[in-house]
Amino acid sequence: FPSHDNIPPSFWPEFVDARDYGQSLSNSMWANSNAGPGLSTPTVNSYMFNTGITTNGKSPVGLTLIPDPTETQFHDTAFLHQLQAKSPDVTRKYLAAASGVNGAQMSSIAPGTSPWSQMMTNISLAAQYAANNGWQYGLPAFTFFHGEANE
């Protein structure tokens, strides 16, 4: 069988918003609590909001480089690490943003709700940050995590 590696296309933008949303799994399962300490997961040109990788209930005003290791293990940094290993491009920049809500019912995170609106505001902030730095912004993929129940 041929290899089906997930390699980001060369036409991806200069600043890739690698965002996820949903319930607690989107935040790597209760970030800073149950996910455990961060493992060294080196990334290059990878950013998070100045308030951290998780964004719900926070008011970011800018971006900062992702530290290695992070305070807890995020699948976001593992995802970026894998993308960069499969398709190295030192000119591309990435944003890790976990915008989910722990323990939320689906109806409370649907479009039109406060968490959804906050995520959309954060997407606009990321796009503005990219524009201010002369980078092409893009959100080529969006990961949605749903838990085991509507709780």
Residue partners of 132: CB distance under 8 A and separation at least 6: none
Reply yes or no: is the peptide bond before residue 69 cis, omega within 30 of 0: yes
Position 79 scores a pLDDT of 84
Position 37 scores a pLDDT of 66
Percentage with pLDDT > 90 across the chain:
40
| Widest pairwise Cα distance in the chain | 47
DSSP E strands: which ranges in the chain? Answer: 15-22, 46-49, 63-65, 93-98, 137-138, 142-145
Over residues 43-63, the mean pLDDT reads 92
Backbone angles phi, psi at 124, to 5 degrees: -60, -40
Position 49 scores a pLDDT of 95
> CA 110, CA 102: separation in Å to the nearest integer?
14
61: left (phi over 0), alpha (psi -120 to 50) or beta: alpha
Give the tens place of pLDDT for each residue, 66-84. Answer: 988 777 777 888 888 888 8
User: Which of the residue ranges 4-13, 28-37, 48-57, 116-125 would you say has the lowest mean pLDDT?
Assistant: 28-37
Mean pLDDT of the chain: 83
> CA 30, CA 126: separation in Å to the nearest integer?
23
> CA 118, CA 99: separation in Å to the nearest integer?
9
How much is the pTM? 0.84
Position 96 scores a pLDDT of 92
The three-state secondary structure class of 132 is helix
Residue 1 has pLDDT above 50, yes or no: no
Give the tens place of pLDDT for each residue, 5-37. Answer: 555 566 789 999 999 998 877 777 544 455 566
> CA 128, CA 116: separation in Å to the nearest integer?
18
Confidence of residue 105 (pLDDT cuts 50, 70, 90): confident
Residue 86 has pLDDT above 50, yes or no: yes
Tokens of 130: 């990219």
